[in-house]
Amino acid sequence: MPLQAASTPAKPGTRERLIAAMTDALRRRGLHGIGLTELLAQAEAPKGVLYHHFPGGKTELAVAAIDDVVARMLMGLDRLLAGTPDPIEAMRLWMDHATARLTESGFECGCPLATVALETTPEDTALREALARAFATLRSRIAQALEQHGEPAEEAQALAALVVASYEGGLLQARVAQSHAPILQATQALLNLLAARRLHRPAKPLQTLQPL
């Protein structure tokens, strides 16, 4: 009986390749660090196809990339929270994974959210709205996890803002310093703070996390 050929994963569609190329560009070089010709070549997309999928051009593609990045970040965080019910340990793993990705890239691939945020001007309304939505979504998910484990709602939201600030700021400093020391220091300080708070409040029974 003849052997069947191993199935190969389907090649991503043009829209997905454009988003992936833009995401990579945002991580490495920022929004203004890559031209459309180079972007299309990286996505293996013919000229003119960009405006078919993204009538708003490069800006609309960048917004789609931001939304995709956040969706992936949330998927990763949700997997960690599902496998590691303790949110403090989940936060540590989440930040450790980000640190590992940055280190493995030779400190070239940072978080695209921070990269774009530093480039935007008051006229970049669509990008700013996408970034604000992205950060708010991350804060909301982290706050939900903390609240499920006993933090009062208002304090959970404040701590979630601190987690996101440590994550983004730590990655940014590590990339500039070409060293993972800044984010490791921020992560450890943050975890110590969360652990200390836990020692000073009554325990609360674990609850099932609900997806956003």
Question: Could you tell me if 90 and 145 are in contact, meaning their C-beta atoms sit under 8 angstroms apart?
Answer: yes
User: Tell me, what's the pLDDT at 169?
Assistant: 93
Cα–Cα distance between 198 and 206 in angstroms, integer? 14
Measured between its terminal Cα atoms, the distance across the chain in Å is 50
Domain ranges of the chain: 63-199
Q: By C-alpha distance, which of 134, 132, 116 is closest to 32?
A: 116
Q: What is the pTM of this model?
A: 0.83
DSSP H helical ranges for 110-204: 112-119, 125-148, 153-177, 181-199
- Tell me, what's the pLDDT at 149? 86
Contacts of 2 (CB under 8 A, 6+ apart): none
pLDDT of residue 14: 92
Alpha-carbon span 93 to 80, nearest angstrom: 7
Q: Tell me how crowded residue 17 is: count the other CB atoms within 10 A of its CB.
A: 18
**How far apart are the C-alpha atoms of 113 and 100, rounded to whole Å?**
18
| Cα-based distances in Å from 106 to 71, 103, 146, 209, 212 | 25, 5, 33, 35, 34
DSSP summary character for residue 150: T
pLDDT tens digits, the chain, 212 residues: what are they? 444 444 445 567 999 999 999 999 999 888 888 888 899 999 999 888 999 999 999 999 999 999 999 999 999 999 999 998 788 899 899 999 999 999 999 999 889 999 899 889 889 999 999 999 999 999 999 999 999 888 899 999 999 999 999 999 999 999 999 999 999 999 999 988 888 887 766 544 434 444 44
* 211 three-state secondary structure: coil
Q: CATH number for 63-199: choose from 3.40.50.300, 3.30.565.10, 1.10.357.10, 2.60.40.1660.
A: 1.10.357.10
Predicted pLDDT of residue 1: 44
Residues 141 and 75: beta-carbon distance below 8 Å? no
